[in-house]
Amino acid sequence: MLTNAPRRPTPEELLRQVQAEEEYERRGRLKVFLGYASGVGKSFRMLDEGRRRHERGQDVVVGAIQPKISPEIEPLLGKLETIPLRFVEGIPVMDMEAILKRHPAVCLVDGLAYDNPPGSANPSRWQDVEHLLDAGISVITSVNIQYIDELRERVEQITGKRVTQTVPRSFLNSADEIVVVDAPPETCITRSHDGKIDSAAEAQKLSELREIALLLAADVVDRQLEQYVQRSGFPQTFGAQERILVCITPRANAAPMIASGRRNADRFHGDLIVAYVRQPEISAGDQEALERNLAIARAANAHIEILEGEHPIEAILQFAREHSITQIFAGHSTRERWWERLLGTPLDRLIRDAGDIDVRVFPH
Amino acid sequence: MASRQLPGKLKIYLGYAAGVGKTYQMLDEAQEMKRQGRDVVIGYFEPHGRHDTIAKTEGLEMIPRRKVDYRGTTFEEMDTDAILRRHPEVCVVDEFPHTNVPGSPRLKRWQDVETLLEAGIDVLTTMNIQHLESLNDQVWQITGVRVRETIPDWVMSKADQVVMVDLTPRALLNRLARGVVYAPEKAKKALENFFQESTLVALRELALRQTAHEVEIRQVDYDTPGFETAPAYTDEAEEVPRSGERILIFVTPDPASATLIRRGKRVADYLHADCFAVAVRAEEDSDQAASPEREALDRHLNFARNLHIETRVLEGKDVPKTLVEFARLNGVTQMFLSRTKLSRWAALFGGDLMRQVVHLARDMQVMIVAERHHQPHQ
C-alpha cells in the first residue's frame, strides 16, 4: 500500500534535527555569486550587494578584493570599510586575525580559489571562509566556474588553460544561496579586452562555459529543492529535472532502452537510473543475461538500483514515486500468456498505475 | 534581395517571478545603450510603483500608450504604430507575454514585438519562465496556477539572446517583505500563494535549465561563419541538424491532448526530432460537422499548429490500426499518446484505445504521457 502520509520522525532523528538547526543558527550564512568568465560582473554584484546591505544598516567589511580593480568597482569600494590584505612572500593573504577581531556581520571575499602560502592556518582562502562562517560571520563571495575542482578538466578542454588553485564543489553545495551572474558572451569580451570579439571560436568557448555555469547553478538549486521535500516529508513527483528510470529484466532488450535513456537524460541534463527487481529464483542462463544487461547500464554511466518486492510493478512504482522519476522506460514482454491478453499484462498495469509519471514502451 | 530590411534583434530578460529585477536590468542596459549614442525609446513600461525601477527610466524617451475603450473601461496598450513611425534603433518593451485588449490590431504583445523586429527595430523585453508554453503543465504542477498568457517556444528560440536575471528566493522574499515588490496587502497574499520558497526554488531551477538550453541551441550558430550579423531569424532557419527521430503525437478530443502536445513538442525540440500531430476520424462520423468532440479536436489541432507542429487528419474505421499503419508508413520512431482514464471493465470490453495502440505498435517506441496534477505543499 502506498501512502502520501508523512512518516513520524524517531526521537533520535528529532534530536539530530534540533542540533542541526542550532548549529545552523550559530553559523554565518554563505552566499556565492557564480560566473562563467572574468568580466561577467561577479565582483561588481558581490560589492553592490555589500553596499546595499551597508545602506540598510548591516555591518559589512571587505575582507579580500582582487588586485586589479575595474573603474565600475572603485566607487563601491569607497563606500565600504576594507580590511587590507597582508602580503606573505609576495602572496596576498586575507588578514584573518584582523577580521575575526573586528567581527563584522558580513564579510565580502573575492578570489576564493587563492592558495595561502605554506605555514598559514588554512591552505586555501575558501577554507579561511569556512573559518569565518564557523565564527558566525556571514560571507558573500564570488567565484568563476573554472576554479571549481570537479569542473576543471571540462573547462580546460574548452579554454585550453590550466588553473592550479581550485575550490571543491562541496563548498558550493554548502552555500545557503547561490546566484548565477549571467550575461551574453559579448559582454565579457568587451569588458575584459575592451575590444571586439576575437573570433567566433572565442564566442563559442564562452557560450559553452556559460551553459556549464547555468547547469551547475541548476544542480545546486535542485539539491535545495530536494532538501525542502525532505524537510516537509512530502513525496513530490514534480521537479524541474528529468529523471529517467529504465526497468530491465534478464530477457529485456536492454541495450536500445538504456541508449535511449542515456540520450534523453543527456539532452535534458537529467538523471538516468536503471532498475532491476530481484526475482527469487532465476536460471543460470537468465542470470548471465541479467549480468550482461547490468554491464550495459554501467557502461552508460547509469545509476543502478536492485529493488526488492513481491510485486515487481509495485516495487518499481514505489521507487519511482519516492525518487521523483518523470519517465519510466519499459519493454514489451517476450511471452504473453492468454490470460494476460485478456486481463492485461504487467506492462498494462504499469501504464495504468503510473499516475503522474510518463511511461515509454520499447519494442522487444 | 540585397536591399531587404535586416530584421531587428530581440533580447529577452528571463526571470522566474515578479520582483527578481528583470525590468531593472533591462532599463539599466537601455541607459547604457543611450550613453553609447544609440537611439533608444521605451515602447511599454509597467512601473508597478517600484521606485528604483522608475528612476531607471529617467532620460529615456517614452512613447505614449494607446488608449482603448472596451466594454466601458479604458485600457492602455503599447502604441506599436507610433513606435513604427518614430522608428528608433532600440525599443524597450516590458511584459512580453501580455495579451492585448480585444479589438487591438494584434492579439498578443509578442506579435507587436515581431512587427517591430520586422521593421528593423531592436527590442529588449522581459518575461518569466512560467509563461513558456511547453512548461505550462509543469508550472501548474508546481504552483497550482494555470498560466493563460503563454509564449510559444519557437518565439523564444528565435530571440538573439536570452539572459537569466537571477536572484535567490530568499532575497526575493526579503524584497517582498520590505514592500519593494508589491504594496503590503498584495505582498501578504502573494506570500501565502505563489511566493512560497519551495515553489520559487522549483521555478528558478526551470528558468536556469531553460536558459542553459537556450544557450546550447544558439551554439550551433557560432559554428557558421558570420554569425554575428546573421542570427537565425528566419522561418526557414532549419540549420539545426535533425536527429533522424520522428515523433508522432496522437491528438484526440480528450482535454489531456494539450498536455500531450506540449510534452511531445518539448521532447522533439530537445532531441532535434521531426514532429507532427495526427488525429484519426472514424469514417462514419466524418460528415457530422459540428459536434462538441469535433470542435475540441479542431481546437487541439489548431493549438499544435500554433506551436509550429505539422498536423494531419486521417480517416479510417479502425482507429488504432489506421494510426499505427500511418506511423509505420512515415517512419515514425516514437509515438506519443495520452493516458486514457478507463475502468478495468471498460478496458476489458473494448474501449481502451491506448492499450490497443501499445500492443499494435510493438515495433516502435510508444510514450504514454501522464496527466499532471498539482500537489499542494505543506
Q: What is the pTM of this model?
A: 0.80
A52/A153 same-domain check: yes
Q: Of A178, A203, A232, which one is at a domain's C-terminal end?
A: A232
- Distance separating alpha carbons of residues B209 and B138, to the nearest angstrom: 13
Tally the domains of chain A.
Answer: 2
User: Beta strands B365-369 and A358-362: pairing type?
Assistant: antiparallel
Which chain A positions have a beta carbon within 8 Å of B171's beta carbon?
177
Is the predicted pLDDT of residue B275 greater than 90, yes or no?
Answer: yes
Which chain B residues have a beta carbon less than 8 Å from that of A225?
Answer: 198, 201-202, 205
Sign of the CA dihedral with A175 first, then A51, A25, and B177 last: negative
Q: What is the pLDDT of residue A6?
A: 45
Q: How far is B266 from chain A, CA to nearest CA, in Å?
A: 10
Quick check: is A14 in a domain?
no
> Across chain A, what does the average pLDDT equal?
85
CATH code at A132?
A: 3.40.50.300
Of residues A227 and A79, the one with the higher pLDDT is A79
Chain B positions touching A347 (Cβ under 8 A) are: 358
A193 and A47 within one domain: yes
| Residue A219, SS3 per DSSP | helix
CB distance A92 to A99 below 8 Å: no
CA dist B89 to A137, B38, B161, Å? 48, 7, 17
Does residue B376 have a pLDDT over 60?
no
In a domain, A263, yes or no: yes
SS3 A67: coil
Q: Which CATH number fits domain B10-223: 3.40.50.300, 3.90.1300.10, 3.20.20.140, 3.20.20.70?
A: 3.40.50.300
The answer on A180 and A84 residing in a single domain is yes
What is the grid cell recorded at B149?
Answer: 498568457
Please give the residue that has the higher pLDDT: either A220 or B187.
Answer: A220
Sign of CA pseudo-dihedral B270, B161, A222, A34: positive
Assess if residue A18 is contained within a domain.
no
Same fold, B10-223 and B246-369: yes
Candidate from B201, B364, B378 with C-beta closest to A225: B201
Return the minimum-mean-pLDDT range out of A126-135, B233-242, B313-322, B349-358: B233-242
What is the number of residues in chain A? 364
> What pLDDT sits at residue A236?
53
ipTM for this prediction: 0.76
B231: confidence class by pLDDT, cuts 50, 70, 90? very low
Q: Residue B241, class by beta-carbon neighbours within 10 Å (0-12 exposed, 13-18 middle, 19+ buried)?
A: exposed
Q: Which of A205-209, B105-109, B180-184 has the highest mean pLDDT?
A: B105-109
Closest Cβ opposite residue A184 in set B161, B201, B354: B161
Three cell numbers, residue B150: 503563454
Q: Measure CB to CB from residue A348 to each of B204, B211, B355 and give the nearest one.
A: B355
Asked whether the beta carbons of A358 and B369 are under 8 A apart, the reply is yes
Tell me, yes or no, whether A213 and A323 share the same domain: no
Tens-place pLDDT, residues A51-99: 999 999 999 999 998 877 788 888 888 899 999 999 988 889 999 999 9
CB burial of A110-144 (b: ≥16 within 10 Å; e: otherwise) equals bbbbbbbeeebebebbbebbbbbbeeebbbbbbbb
A7 inside domain: no
* pLDDT tens digits, B240-263: 456 678 999 999 988 889 999 999
Check whether residue A269 and residue A188 sit in a common domain.
Answer: no
SS3 A86: strand
- Chain A residues whose CB is inside 8 A of the B347 CB are 344
**Mean pLDDT of all residues in B52-73:** 92
Same domain, A289 and A339: yes
Backbone φ, ψ for residue A177 (5° rounding): -140, 140
Per-residue pLDDT tens digits for B296-322? 999 999 999 989 999 999 998 888 999
Alpha helices in chain B (DSSP H): 22-35, 51-55, 80-86, 109-118, 136-143, 153-158, 169-177, 184-192, 197-223, 257-271, 292-306, 319-329, 344-348, 353-360
Report yes or no on A347 lying in a domain. yes
Flag whether pLDDT at B349 surpasses 70. Answer: no
**Is A209 part of any domain?**
yes
Mark whether A62 and A101 lie in a shared domain. Answer: yes
A179, A198: one domain? yes
pLDDT digits (tens, 9 = 90+) for A232-281: 655 454 566 889 999 998 888 899 999 999 988 988 888 999 999 998 88
Q: Which of A19 and B6 is assigned the larger pLDDT? A: B6
For the domain bounded by B246-369, which CATH number is listed?
3.40.50.620
| Residue where one domain finishes, among candidates A232, A252, A277 | A232
End residue of a domain, out of A232, A263, A281: A232
Helix, strand or coil, per DSSP, at residue A261: helix
Same domain as A88, residue A208: yes
A198: confidence class by pLDDT, cuts 50, 70, 90: low
Enclosing domain of residue A146:
24-232
Residues A158 and A258 in one domain: no
> Alpha-carbon distance A330 to A350, whole Å?
9
State whether A306 and A178 are in the same domain: no
